[in-house]
Amino acid sequence: MFRIHCPHCQEVRSEEEFSYAGEAHIPRPADPSSLSDAEWGEYLHTRTNPRGPHREMWVHTAGCRRYFNVLRDTVSYEILAVYRVGEMPPERGEA
Amino acid sequence: MRGAEPRRMERYSLLGLVRHARHYHENWQRAWRNPEPKKSYDTVIVGGGGHGLATAYYLAKVHGVTDVAVVEKGWLGGGNTGRNTTIVRSNYLRDESSHLYEYSLKLWEGLSQELNFNVMFSPRGVLNLGHTLQEMRDIERRVGANRLNGIEAQVLDPGEINKLVPLMNCAPDSRYPVLGASWQARGGIARHDAVAWGYARSADAHGVDLLQNTEVTGIRCRNGVATGVDTSRGFIAARKVACVAAGNSGVLAAMAGLRLPIESRPLQALVSEPIKPCLDTVVMSNAVHCYISQADKGDLVIGAGTDSYNGYGQRGSFSIIEHTLQAVCELFPAFSRVRMNRHWGGIVDICPDACPIIGETPVRGLYFNCGWGTGGFKATPGSGYVFADTLAHGRPHPLAAPFSLDRFATGALVDEHGAAGVAH
Amino acid sequence: MGGEVRRLAAGGRIDRDQALDFVFNGRALRGFAGDTLASALLANGVDVVGRSFKYGRPRGIVGHGPEEPNAIVEVGTGASRVPNLRATQVELYNGLEARSAGSSVFQRAAGAFGRLLPAGFYYKTFMSSPRAWMAWERVLRHAAGFGNAPDAADPDTYDRMNRHCDVLVIGGGPAGLSAALEAAGWGARVLLADEQSEFGGSLLAETRALGGESAAAWLAGVLAELDASGNVELLPRSMVSGYYDHNFLTIVERRSDHLGPVSAAATRERLHRVRAEQVVLATGAIERPLVFANNDLPGVMLASSVSTYVNRYAVAPGNKLLLFTTNDHGYRTALDWHRIGREVVAIVDVREDPAGAWVESAKASGIDVIGAHAIIEAVGHSRVSGAAIAPLQGNTLVGAPRRLACDLIACSGGWNPTLHLGSQTGVKPRWSESAIAFLPGDLGVGTLCAGAVAGTPALRGCLEQGALAGATAASRAGFGSGRTTRAAPEVDEPPEMPARSLFLVPHPKPVSRAPKQFVDFQLDVTAADIELAAREGYESVEHVKRYTALGFGTDQGKLGNVNGVAILAEALGKDMAEVGTTMYRPSYTPTTFGAIAGRDVGGFFDPERHTPMHGWHTAEGAEWEDVGRWKRPWYYPRPGETMQQAVNRECLAARDGLAIMDASTLGKIDIQGADAAEFLDRIYTTGFRKLGIGRCRYGLMLHEDGTIFDDGVTARLGEDRYLMHTTTGNAEVVFAWLERWHQTEWPELSVYFTSVTDHWATAALVGPKSRTVLAKVCTDIDLTGGAFPFMAVREGHVAGVPARVFRISFSGELSFEVNVPAQHGRAVWDALIDAGAEFDITPYGTETMHVLRAEKGFIIVGQDTDGSTTPADMGMDWAVRRNKPFGFLGDRSLDLSDHLREDRPQLVGLASYDAKTVLPEGGQLVDDPERQPPAPIAGHVTSSYYSARLSRPIALGMVKRGAGRMGETVYCPLADGRVVKASIVDSVFYDPKGERQNV
């Protein structure tokens, strides 16, 4: 039961207000038609799935309904950073 | 391809029990050896869970490949094998999956005898409930498909269901009334640990080395060919490396520079205190999210949902447990006063189509058998069987062929979300 | 009635003015307020409280709290029965009825065959054939399990409360109380939870003075102070069951069980869902029993439990006490026993040369201290009558045993810190050789441990450590400096000499041949079982647990685990740290399902969504269909009508006259912004850029993998404004989908989404008469075909209410969907019904809607499609524009090789040959009905109805290569063996040119 800081609401709220939205930083290919089936399949389905820090998207479903990125350790479940869509994760530490 | 000298496995029986009792049980044979790793093996299986051990057993038994090591970072059966809710059934929707699971179910039916180890397979029947008209259409479709695939199945009405499960709330005015169910009489439950132990004991007897407390730290490849694994006990060379490590597939793949269409998530489960028999079948409801059976020890074994996020922590969020017990109390109002003894999580590898990946990877000699999601336990014998065949021949077993890694490029997904449900 | 033969004449915290009658196993007994069922049973001289699980051995009460393994009882009857309570945790009330849970004839019989039942015996037998196991399983199942589940719905209610606090203190003993005092003193909001009915923990049985006053007086003072402080909340009867990530904890408060069976006034239990800034674990420790032969005889108890019964409940559970200890702490029990004037036979101390203040004090009381000895075997039948003791050197017996007569053996093998909660967070406990115990691991900055759980033995130390933990926690939560503000009370407590460890008491016979030496009482796990497991290769502590069932009971091994680990370590020649312990999981002690489910059952299980016209449908006697969370009218049977008759009538009304349907549940999303058109172009397979204002267009939405996700009609309301309709079930999912793509991929597009599903009520007026009737209540929209064509939208007033009217049709008939603000929905609906009365306006439900659309070959996403269906499969390439500049979601996937396969299932119509049989929905189709399974599947029926308009059945289905198989025959085998023959036909059965809707 995580406590998540919503960077839009600037509040720490309970996990139940949020929804997980998958791995972050998987941009949709600019020109899908130029990709091979394998490349397109990779975009669709392949995921990093790390054991440790994971860059992922969450959405504040029962709050501001906005998406944001989270750097979370998938073993300790510690949230290492929260940052906005379009940004890259800060160096470790800021939450 | 010979491994350690096969040894004569002591046969378990009631008579044996009496004989050993006379000697105060002091002379029981070890169930398996605790060998030192050799420098190299023909095949190294990474993961000593039910699937990995079954693979080793069938490799040795069916294909005569006994120069095999099973490398397990912890204890045998310590992953999802020992954490799941043990439901066994084969009533899947798609031909590809129903053939695979049915093959597995047939192996289950004779497994205790095959292994001379009582895995307590209990074909007490599995009910998959339908609560909406669309669910009933899907059930009708799945049951019909099962029959055409040679899998005995039936659609039951609420009256018939209530006869099988008297404590279930089948009232028409409940929030999501039970409209019917599919019934697979041959489905049931089994004793999860025993499956790992039974396969381990027989594989060991065939000469397979079971290496516990041996963690794989790297997969070595040369020119696109796998050459062995680095472990906490040193490098072990292998002609073939077979990864069967649910909950760690992505981590292992990364060691070989691969990424998989898999996400690892906590799947939670819980048990009640042991109570006297009050539920004689397995009941599964996708709409109400309730998966329940009663173990032989008397505890209600309840599958909860999968957490929505990736995690390797073997624990999940409490809200999942809350939702599950709401569903249990809704469907079984009398269980409200029963108490939860324990809840826990296992890490399941989820594929986009809720189906497994079985076969060789782009790295030659590196095989994966993973992605069984929430339902891998029931597949244990079949998965081991087809994977062993695939490894032995270097080509997919026909039942495994539809589950290759290519399907994520071709789009030939085997969509089983309906039948695989949320869990199990 | 035997009377309270073991009740002391004075003392204890019981209320002797309040006698309580209760029944145990059919015997009427009496106790006092303040008793637990266990203390009352002991007071009444009840020695045997149950039979053991596997061997059917008589068992008595061992402990006094959550560790109790034997006294498992079923309380209450019928619907309010509770199966497996521990008598030590059941507060006595007048009229309580309890029974021993779980003893069965089989178990008594099994005792005779005990030798045949070593650990894991069931893995080695019962498998001559698959059927043999099924027979044996039935027998084993009936032998297993403790109490019976209730047989009817739970009459009680449960509730739930979310809480936030600065410091949660778990455990109201000396350490916890001190922590709460300090934290509260600094101004932190404190929650103090304790599982017992009274706060105080070990202080409730404490005989020494604290700061010059009695423990009871000191306790009362502290509680009064906490109560008065204003920022402390005290939660008694509150068991902290789970410790989850980010300092989320669950507390189960028992609110009414102590009052009697069912209390209508209060919820039975309450689940507190706590988010704590800081947690102080002051959960104490549980005494470790000693493992010796026949140590399960009634009359063998924990030393601390004997003291608790004596001091707190004024019960002496025997007459002649023999104390068996490895440490000084146990001496307290002998001294307590001596104080009440009973005989202490001896203190059997395993230490080589017991000395020090405690030993002196025992000797001063005339107690015989026998050092360097151990009790190797308890003697007796259904209760201890004596013990065999023998001299011990290290772990070896060095002399002949001798017998001492006694009727009570109090054991103290040291202490096991109650570290379960810390372990639940995933942090492994660590073995401490100096404390001879597992201690909590490093729990991080949000958690502190204080008192016995941290391995602190002395009372004064617990008080001090608790205070420091309270101050530190407050400071970490932002209150105060972290320094303690008051001195802990002085306690007259002689120092303790070092304890020694002894986990398995040796016996002259080897473990395998000695009388049973129990490690886990509840599941009958013996030292021999653990050795057997190790011998057979089950070497991991987890294997041993699973092979022998050690620690699997409802006590989760609170007594047995550490001894079990030690015996295993010894058998393997490893040390304790190497073997380690199993992880503890929530719940700390078992938690009622109902308490976790809370209020979200029955009517609150899942909220129902109702449209503004719901009341009207109810009054008309509608049958309901669940669609998502919505309750939608399924059909409206008139008296005496079958469902089919009703649906036929409704269908014909829509085709021939006038019908009306509540379509309010369709998802509606208002989309505005300069880039709205561009955005829609990317989301839908069709194009929306060129759609005229006031016009509508059908769209298909795909997943990125090319499969159909949703469909619906979108209208352009203005230059930069669209209204999207989604299917009822997908409204929320589609809305989230739009937001996701906009926010994460295309934030540069200027577009905004508002879900307006609930803002509007929608009445679909359907049938040839719809225009005429609508005109009666809508005068400011020109409804003629020329002015208001098919697939157009107009704004005006209907029945005097501002309305948006769509000329769209899911039935193929002339149809107007009237949307009005939800609050006017019912009034407008009533006006339409009135206006249509002259044409016998007929309400229809989802079933008729399905028939009408199937006659027209319109698909329903999720019924005719599944998770693998592409637009081409549905013959809907007409709705896919491949040449849009940006493309659309899922576009690329349509070219994947598998999606271009020729033998994919395709949408077709199906007509049964006999023109009578309605194909079953979901029915499978084959080409060769004679073929025995496994038989190749040609396809399946997705939708199937009797069409009243066509006077024959119609069906839609997905058939491999279906589009190219028009006129061919397929067969649908039914469950009863019949086979329905059907021909493949076009999927549009009625009005193929669409003339009826376009008038």
C551, C82 Cβ separation under 8 angstroms: no
DSSP code at position B14? H
ipTM score of complex: 0.96
pLDDT of res. B424:
38
Answer whether C125 sits within 8 Å of B193, measured CB to CB: no
B415, pLDDT greater than 90: no
CA distances from C199 to B380, C175, C205, C252 (A): 51, 12, 12, 16
Phi, psi of C50 (to 5 degrees): 180, 175
**The dihedral formed by the CA atoms of C14, C18, C23 and C29, expressed in degrees to the nearest 10:** 80
Please report the DSSP string for B157-175 in residue order: -HHHHHHH-TTS---TTSS
Measure in Å the smallest separation between the Cα of A57 and chain B Cα atoms: 10
pLDDT of res. A93:
45
Nearest to C676 by CA among C713, C730, C723, C725: C723
B423, pLDDT greater than 90: no
Answer whether A40 sits within 8 Å of C893, measured CB to CB: yes
Q: Is B352 on the interface with A (CB under 8 A)?
A: yes
pLDDT digit string, tens, across residues C788-827: 999 999 999 999 999 999 999 999 999 999 999 999 999 9
DSSP code at position C205? G
First vs last Cα of chain B: how many Å apart?
A: 36
Choose the weakest-confidence range: B98-107, C129-138, C160-169, C850-859: C129-138
| Beta carbons within 10 angstroms of residue B172's beta carbon | 8
pLDDT digit string, tens, across residues C298-316: 999 999 999 999 999 999 9
Edge to edge, the sheet with strand C793-798 lists C793-798, C801-806, C815-821, C760-766, C659-662, C842-843
Which residue among A2, A35, A67 places its CB closest to the CB of C744?
A67
Answer whether B341 sits within 8 Å of C920, measured CB to CB: no
pLDDT digit string, tens, across residues B297-310: 999 999 998 999 99
Phi, psi of C728 (to 5 degrees): -55, -45
Answer whether B260 sits within 8 Å of A47, measured CB to CB: yes
pLDDT band at C69 (very low <50, low <70, confident <90, very high): very high
Architecture of the C667-755 domain? 2-Layer Sandwich (3.30)
**The dihedral formed by the CA atoms of C172, C176, C182 and C185, expressed in degrees to the nearest 10:** -20
Which residue among B259, B410, B411 places its CB closest to the CB of A48?
B259
Pull the structure tokens for residue C637. Answer: 């049977």
Class (C level, CATH) for C897-999: mainly beta
Domain ranges of chain C: 15-110, 157-285+418-476, 287-415+496-579, 614-664+759-852, 667-755, 897-999
**Exposed/middle/buried for A66, CB within 10 Å: 0-12, 13-18, 19+?**
middle
A80, pLDDT greater than 70: yes
> How many Å apart are CA C788 and CA C816, to the nearest integer?
10
Answer whether B334 sits within 8 Å of C899, measured CB to CB: no
**Which residue has tokens 């007490």?**
B124
| Beta carbons within 10 angstroms of residue C46's beta carbon | 23
Which residue among A20, A45, A77 places its CB closest to the CB of B408?
A45
pLDDT digit string, tens, across residues C649-696: 999 999 999 999 999 999 999 999 999 999 999 999 999 999 999 999
Measure in Å the smallest separation between the Cα of B112 and chain A Cα atoms: 36
Nearest to B282 by CA among B165, B177, B195: B165
Answer whether B319 sits within 8 Å of A76, measured CB to CB: no
Nearest to C452 by CA among C415, C423, C490, C501: C415
pLDDT digit string, tens, across residues C242-284: 999 999 999 999 999 998 876 666 899 999 999 999 999 999 9
Nearest to C592 by CA among B263, B387, B424, B339: B339
Pull the structure tokens for residue C338. Answer: 């001596």
pLDDT of res. B7:
80
Could you tell me which CATH number the domain at C614-664+759-852 has?
3.30.1360.120
Q: Is B250 on the interface with A (CB under 8 A)?
A: yes
- Which helix or strand (DSSP H or E) is residue C802 part of? strand C801-806
C746: helix, coil or strand? coil
Q: Which long-range contacts (CB under 8 A, 24 or more apart) does B395-403 make?
A: B396/B358, B396/B359, B396/B360, B397/B358, B399/B99, B399/B100, B399/B103, B400/B100, B400/B358, B400/B359, B401/B359, B402/B96, B403/B96, B403/B100, B403/B355, B403/B356, B403/B357, B403/B358, B403/B359
Q: Which long-range contacts (CB under 8 A, 24 or more apart) does C779-784 make?
A: C781/C805, C783/C816
Across chain C, mean pLDDT equals 95
Answer whether B337 sits within 8 Å of C154, measured CB to CB: yes
Answer whether C591 sits within 8 Å of B277, measured CB to CB: no
Nearest to C517 by CA among C289, C288, C295: C295
The radius of gyration computed from the CA coordinates of chain B, to the nearest angstrom, equals 21
Residues 6+ apart with CB under 8 A from C930: none
A94, pLDDT greater than 60: no
Answer whether C275 sits within 8 Å of A32, measured CB to CB: no
Task: Enumerate neighbours of C (3 or more CB pairs within 8 A).
Answer: A, B
Q: Is B248 on the interface with A (CB under 8 A)?
A: yes
pLDDT of res. A77:
95
> How many Å apart are CA C248 and CA C421, to the nearest integer?
12
Whole-model pTM: value is: 0.96
Residues 6+ apart with CB under 8 A from C326: C290, C349, C350, C351, C412, C413, C414, C499, C500, C501, C502
Domains contained in chain A, CATH given: 1-26+51-95 (3.30.2270.10)
Strands (E), B244-298: 263-274, 282-285, 290-294
Which tops the pLDDT comparison, B204 or C552? B204
C924: helix, coil or strand? strand
**Which residue has tokens 């957490």?**
B307
B389, B240 Cβ separation under 8 angstroms: no
Contacts of B312 in chain A (CB under 8 A): 51, 74-75
Q: Is A14 on the interface with B (CB under 8 A)?
A: no
C116, pLDDT greater than 90: no
Q: Is A76 on the interface with B (CB under 8 A)?
A: yes
CA distances from B172 to B158, B177, C152, C198, C645 (A): 9, 5, 17, 46, 22
The radius of gyration computed from the CA coordinates of chain A, to the nearest angstrom, equals 15
> How many Å apart are CA B348 and CA B83, to the nearest integer?
11
pLDDT band at A95 (very low <50, low <70, confident <90, very high): very low
Stretch C328-332: mean pLDDT:
97
Interface test with C, best of B15, B95, B118, B335 (most C CBs within 10 A): B118
Report residue B46 CA to chain centroid gap. 16
Answer whether C145 sits within 8 Å of B276, measured CB to CB: yes
Which residue among A27, A37, A57 places its CB closest to the CB of C896?
A37
B178, B161 Cβ separation under 8 angstroms: yes
B288, pLDDT greater than 90: no
Contacts of B262 in chain A (CB under 8 A): 47, 49
Contacts of A15 in chain B (CB under 8 A): 317, 319
pLDDT of res. C103:
62
Helix spans in C812-895 (H): 825-836, 846-855
Helix spans in C823-920 (H): 825-836, 846-855
C570, C506 Cβ separation under 8 angstroms: no
Contacts of C142 in chain B (CB under 8 A): 276-277
Sign of CA dihedral C316, C317, C323, C326: negative
Single-letter amino acid code for the residue at C964: G
Answer whether B136 sits within 8 Å of C922, measured CB to CB: yes
Interface test with A, best of C275, C443, C743 (most A CBs within 10 A): C743
Residues 6+ apart with CB under 8 A from C786: none
C96, pLDDT greater than 50: yes
Judge whether C157-285+418-476 and C287-415+496-579 match in fold: yes
Which tops the pLDDT comparison, C528 or C3? C528
Which residue among B250, B408, B411 places its CB closest to the CB of A49?
B250
Answer whether B144 sits within 8 Å of C593, measured CB to CB: no
Strands (E), C94-221: 96-100, 158-170, 190-193, 209-210, 213-214
Please report the DSSP string for B172-217 in residue order: TTSSS---EEEEETT-EE--HHHHHHHHHHHHHHTT-EEETT--EE
Q: Does domain C15-110 match CATH 3.30.420.40? A: no
Q: Which CATH number fits domain C287-415+496-579: 3.50.50.60, 3.40.50.720, 1.25.40.10, 3.40.50.1000?
A: 3.50.50.60
CA distances from B238 to B227, B243, B244, B260, B392 (A): 6, 12, 15, 22, 14
pLDDT band at C469 (very low <50, low <70, confident <90, very high): very high
Across chain B, mean pLDDT equals 95
Answer whether C601 sits within 8 Å of B336, measured CB to CB: yes
pLDDT digit string, tens, across residues C186-235: 999 999 999 999 999 999 999 999 999 999 999 999 999 999 999 999 99
C298: helix, coil or strand? coil
Pull the structure tokens for residue B265. Answer: 């998530």
Could you tell me which CATH number the domain at C157-285+418-476 has?
3.50.50.60
Q: Is B334 on the interface with A (CB under 8 A)?
A: no
CA distances from C713 to B115, C143, C673, C680 (A): 60, 62, 19, 12
C955, pLDDT greater than 60: yes
**Exposed/middle/buried for C760, CB within 10 Å: 0-12, 13-18, 19+?**
buried
Task: Enumerate neighbours of B (3 or more CB pairs within 8 A).
Answer: A, C
> How many Å apart are CA C645 and CA C649, to the nearest integer?
6
C587 prior amide bond cis, ω within 30? yes
Measure in Å the smallest separation between the Cα of C163 and chain A Cα atoms: 12
pLDDT digit string, tens, across residues B217-257: 999 999 999 999 999 999 999 999 999 999 999 999 999 99
Using a pLDDT cut of 70, give the percent of chain C over it. Answer: 98
DSSP code at position B332? -
Answer whether B254 sits within 8 Å of A50, measured CB to CB: yes
Stretch B395-416: mean pLDDT:
94
Measure in Å the smallest separation between the Cα of B156 and chain A Cα atoms: 37
